[in-house]
Amino acid sequence: MATSRWTAVPARTVSPRRRGSVLERAILDAALDQLSTVGWSGLTMEGVAAGAQTGKAAVYRRWPSKEDLVVQALRAGLPSLDRAPDLGSVREDLLQLCRQMRVTMFSRPGFALRAVLHECDATTAERFHDVIFEGVIEPSVKLIKEVLSRGIERGEVRSGGTEAYVCDVIPAMFMYRTKVCGSEWRDEEFETLIDQVMVPLLRP
């Protein structure tokens, strides 16, 4: 029986063209990937477009500069801090809240944010101030104040324990030791911070 010398060629599968929020999400994810692999200095709009499998024009239409793109990628990607733990004691609540902050700062977007801050000059880093404040500092302070307010009601925390400087201690130490000292914040470090700094500061 004769066989045909022609073989059937499988039909080519054409990927559907992505638009709107689907394409934007792919571009933002590609920007975070770039930051995680090549850093701020190595990130290019062309590289992001290639990673998102789209054209460079599609990136520039939405974000005119890489600063604008990275700010949006970080804002969209950072895990939210929106719920204060309620474990029955201020010490345990603060420890758990510290762990939640660690998840945010050591997530992929958090890692990217830290990479940006380490590499950028002061002028460029200023563009990312609002990302840090709105995504990490402000939510953390709000939840710390909530935890301490409950502690005042239970008699664990002195009156005035929710003052601004008191609520700033944990985020300030977290950012300083992460950025300047390269701390990875093991649980033991959190315990030291709470037991040696916060508990004496809050004691009635």
Using one digit for the tens of pLDDT, what is the confidence trace for 40-86?
889 999 999 999 999 999 999 999 999 999 999 988 888 888 889 99
Note the pLDDT of residue 13: 42
**Average pLDDT value over all residues in the chain:** 86
CA atoms within 13 A on the CB side of 23: 19
Looking at residue 69, what DSSP letter applies? H
User: What are the Cα distances from residue 136, in Å, to 3, 81, 131, 132, 172?
Assistant: 69, 7, 8, 5, 11
Residue 17's pLDDT is 62
Short-list 10, 30, 9, CA closest to 18? 30
Question: Which residue from 96, 78, 178 is spatially nearest to 132, judged by alpha carbons?
Answer: 78
pLDDT at 6: 40
| Average pLDDT rounded to a whole number, residues 109-119 | 79
pLDDT digits (tens, 9 = 90+) for 5-48: 444 444 444 345 667 889 999 999 999 999 888 888 899 999 99
What local confidence, expressed as pLDDT, does residue 11 receive?
A: 44
Q: How far is CA 174 from the centre of its chain?
A: 14
Q: Rounded distance, CA 58 to CA 63, Å?
A: 9
Cβ(121)–Cβ(182) below 8 Å: no
Query: In angstroms, rounded to a whole number, what is the distance separating the alpha carbons of residues 28 and 87?
Result: 36
State residue 149's pLDDT score: 97
pLDDT number for residue 7: 46
- pLDDT confidence of residue 18: 63
The closest of 128, 98, 57 to 189, measured between CA atoms, is: 98
Query: Which among 200, 195, 196, 168 has a CA at the least distance from the CA of 91?
Result: 195
The letter for the amino acid at 117 is L
Helix, strand, or coil (residue 137): helix
> What's the CA gap between 102 and 191, in Å, rounded?
13
pLDDT on residue 180 = 80
Judged on CB neighbours under 10 Å (0-12, 13-18, 19+), 36 is middle
Contact by Cβ (8 Å): 110, 175 = no
Six-digit token pair at 8?
């059937």
- State mean pLDDT over 81-106: 92
Whether residue 136 contacts residue 171, with contact meaning beta carbons closer than 8 Å, is answered with yes
Structural domains in the chain plus CATH codes: 20-77 (1.10.10.60), 90-202 (no CATH)
- Structure tokens of 189? 């470090």
pTM given for the model: 0.78
